[in-house]
Amino acid sequence: MITAGIDLGATYSKVVILDDGKVVGKGISKTTLEPEESVEKALNAALQEAKIDKGQVERTGVTGSGRRAIKDADVVATDVTADARGAYHLDKEVKTVIDVGGEDARAVKVGENGKVINSAVNDKCAAGAGAFVEAMSRAMQLSLEEFAEASLKSTQEIPINAQCAIFAESEVVSLISDETPREDICRAVHDGIADRITSMAKRVLVEEKVGLMGGAVMNKGLVESIREGLGLDPIILPDPLFVSALGIALMAADQED
């Protein structure tokens, strides 16, 4: 059976095409003010990769914060459920998933057969995830890749506010004006964000194995800080941007007629 999984996120729309449980195509596009168009674009890219016509898709599942914009899906579920299902499919031993997106980070505790045991997301005072790192890299006039690389070369830890992004930002500004080595500032930003993410993750009672997913885990510097913050050795799930889309595609395939 051919199914499509759509993850309509705040920043990106992601689509996975499954043929009898195997990934045959993936597509991504920036989410715009016209979410249906964004999904269409990602879907077409995925179908093209899979060499499949739209008409051949038997079932569609949709997840992500914008999921309500998509009508006529066969299965609709929240990211939490889709994250768990996708992660479980990729690695049966994963018990905790940490999804680091642009604005939010989320932790999901995964139980038997990929079912959710519990979940947590960042609260108000500790908001911000990937987008904060991007903003800081812009403030330092570095590309995100350069920022991540620099952080890995840092030789000292500088404590910055782990809870409040506004405070953290003004501390970064102070560090820049104090001519603190660039590498150390980059690391301080990653450590600050990682502290917030791991603090939140601990609320679900983290158990190994821990799987990381979401766009921001492609930043090696941030992953290193998360690793230190957890005191555990998490794995990065394959295609970390598409885990939710994969999960919802699997749920669509599972659904009984």
Partner 1 sequence: MINDFIDVYKNRHDYAKDWKKKNPDSKVVGYMCSYFPEELFYAAGMLPVRILGSHEPQNVTEPYIFGMYCPFSRDVLAQGLQGHYDYLDAVSTAYPCMHLGQAFDSWTLHVTQKKFYVDMPNRVQTPYAVPFLTGRLEETKQEIEEWIGREITDSDLKEAINVYNENRALLREIYEMRKADDVPLTGTECMYITTASLFMDKKDANKLLKETIENELKGRKAKTADDTRLMVLGSENDDIKFLNMVEEFSAVIVTDDHCTGSRYFWNPVEEQDDPIQAIAQRYIDRPLCPQRDYPERKRLPYLLDMARDWNVAGIIALQQKFCDPHELDKVALLDWFKENDIPTIYLELDVTVPIGQFKIRVEALLERLREDELW
Partner 2 sequence: MVEKKYKTAPLKSWDKAKEIRLNIYKEIAEAKSKGKVLLGGGAESLIALPTGFDYAMLVGEPYGAAISYLAKSDPDEYMKYVEASEHAGYPRDLCAYMRNYIGSILRDKYVFGGPFPKIDFYLQAGFCDTHSKWYQAVSDITGRPYFSLDLVPFDWEIEGESEKTKDLKRKYIVDQIHEAIAWMEKQTGREFNDETFIQGVLNECESTSLWAKVCIANRAIPAPLDEKTMLSLYVLAVIGRPRNDVVEFYRELLDEVEDRVANQIAANPYETARIITDSQPPWFALDLFRLLETYGVVSVGAHYTFGLSGGWEYDEENKTWEAGKTPQEKGVEVKTRDEAANVLADWWLRTGTVCRGVRHSGAGKIQRIMDMVDRWKVDGAIVHLNRGCEGTSLGQMDIVSSLLERGLPTMTYEGNHADPREYDENRTFARIESFMETMGLKQLYEFKKGE
Judged by beta carbon distances under 5 to 8 A according to partner kind, the member of partner 1, partner 2, none in contact with residue 135 is: none
Stretch binding partner 1 (CB under 8 A), from 19-27, 56-64, 72-80, 190-198:
190-198
Stretch binding partner 2 (CB under 8 A), from 131-139, 145-153, 179-187, 202-210:
202-210
Non-local CB neighbours of 113 within 8 Å, separated by 6+ positions: 88
Report the residue number, 70 or 80, with the smaller CB distance to partner 2: 80
Q: How far is the CB of 103 from partner 2 (least distance, A)?
A: 11
- Rule CB under 8 A: say whether 180 interacts with partner 1: no
Stretch binding partner 1 (CB under 8 A), from 16-24, 66-74, 96-104, 156-164:
156-164
- Rule CB under 8 A: say whether 184 interacts with partner 1: no
* Residue-wise burial string across 145-160, b where 16 or more C-beta atoms lie within 10 A, e elsewhere: eebbbbbeebeeebeb
Q: Which of 87, 107, 116, 194 binds partner 2 (CB under 8 A)?
A: 116
45 to 84, contacts with partner 1 by CB under 8 A? none
* Cα(39)–Cα(58) distance, integer angstroms: 17
Helices 144-152 and 130-139, interaxial angle, to 10°?
90
Judged by beta carbon distances under 5 to 8 A according to partner kind, the member of partner 2, partner 1, none in contact with residue 71 is: none
* Cα(170)–Cα(161) distance, integer angstroms: 10
Judged by beta carbon distances under 5 to 8 A according to partner kind, the member of partner 1, partner 2, none in contact with residue 170 is: partner 1
- Rule CB under 8 A: say whether 118 interacts with partner 1: no
- Rule CB under 8 A: say whether 161 interacts with partner 1: yes
Q: How far is the CB of 188 from partner 2 (least distance, A)?
A: 26
- Rule CB under 8 A: say whether 120 interacts with partner 2: yes
Count, residues near partner 2 per rule CB under 8 A: 17
96 to 115, contacts with partner 1 by CB under 8 A? none
Strand arrangement, sheet containing 2-8: 22-30, 12-19, 2-8, 59-63, 75-76
In terms of DSSP bridges, do strands 59-63 and 2-8 run parallel, antiparallel, or are they unpaired?
parallel
In DSSP notation, 186-235 reads HHHHHHHHHHHHHHHHHTT---SSEEEESGGGG-HHHHHHHHHHHTS-PE
Q: Which of 21, 68, 115, 159 binds partner 1 (CB under 8 A)?
A: 159
**Shortest CA distance to 152 belongs to which of 218, 230, 217, 225?**
225
Is the peptide bond preceding residue 153 cis, with omega within 30 degrees of 0?
Answer: no
Helix (H, G, I), strand (E, B) or coil at 164: coil
